């Protein structure tokens, strides 16, 4: 019963599903103290509202301004130090997703927009119809993946395989490759990782 209650509690924590709506292009970056203000242009920017939470490459950021086809968000030093946002430059393409509505269809998995740590692209292989991406991350933080389990990479809900300590692989279909920023990733690039929240809670409970 305790385990069931915990899972019910988790149902109220999710914000995103990892199903990318579209991509946005970084138009401008303004530094203010330790903060960075990012200006994005996207097909849905004009539909956004100030104070709305939007996932940008898996990072939940608050819209601070909407100006025509563009919207602005602010990243503080804590966010910049724990994600790949500090490496963003004008022209970069970013995956974006709005929060799931309460009565929406749950097509991906529970994604909070809280990046656990960064990872690196270890290898990319063109499989003549799909792409194999190998990722590595620092296992010292205690995060784990599960074979055929869920992982969020730059905000995209994906299924892990070749799961091992500090590394995993994903297969990317042509649609995902084209309509997310996976087509611009190169070996060595830094990505945002959010591990499956149910797995994190189960691990925490087992540790206790």
Q: Express each pLDDT in 46-91 by its tens digit.
A: 999 999 999 999 999 999 999 999 999 999 999 999 999 999 999 9
How many domains does the chain divide into? Answer: 2
What percent of the chain shows pLDDT beyond 70? 93
Beta bridge partners of 12: none
Residue 4 lies in a domain: no
CA dist 191 and 130 (Å) reads: 20
* Cα dihedral across residues 179, 184, 186, 191: positive or negative: negative
Maximum CA extent, the chain: 51
Residue 105 lies in a domain: no
CA dist 46 and 32 (Å) reads: 25
Query: Is residue 35 within 8 Å of 78, Cβ to Cβ?
Result: no
> Range of 160's domain?
117-207
pTM passes above 0.85: yes
Token code pair at residue 11: 């149902």
Query: Residue 183: which CATH number?
Result: 2.40.30.20
pLDDT in tens, 109-143: 889 999 999 999 999 999 999 999 999 999 998 88
């Amino acid at each position: 019963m305790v385990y069931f209650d915990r899972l019910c509690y988790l149902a109220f924590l999710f914000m995103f599903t990892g199903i990318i709506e579209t991509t946005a292009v970084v138009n401008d970056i303004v530094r203010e103290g330790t903060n960075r203000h990012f200006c994005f242009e996207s097909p849905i920017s004009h539909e956004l509202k100030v104070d709305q939470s939007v996932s940008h490459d898996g990072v939940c950021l608050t819209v601070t301004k909407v100006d025509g086809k563009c919207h602005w968000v602010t990243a503080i030093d804590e966010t910049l130090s724990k994600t790949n946002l500090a490496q963003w430059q004008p022209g970069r393409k970013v995956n974006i997703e709005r929060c799931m509505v309460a009565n929406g269809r749950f097509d991906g998995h529970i994604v909070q927009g809280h990046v656990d740590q960064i990872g690196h692209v270890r290898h990319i292989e063109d499989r003549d119809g799909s792409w194999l991406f190998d990722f590595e991350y620092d296992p010292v933080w205690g995060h784990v993946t599960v074979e055929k389990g869920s992982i969020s990479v730059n905000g995209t809900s994906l299924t892990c395989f070749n799961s091992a300590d500090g590394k995993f692989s994903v297969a990317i279909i042509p649609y995902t490759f084209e309509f997310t920023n996976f087509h611009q990733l190169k070996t060595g690039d830094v990505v945002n990782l959010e591990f499956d929240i149910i797995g994190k809670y189960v691990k925490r409970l087992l540790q206790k």
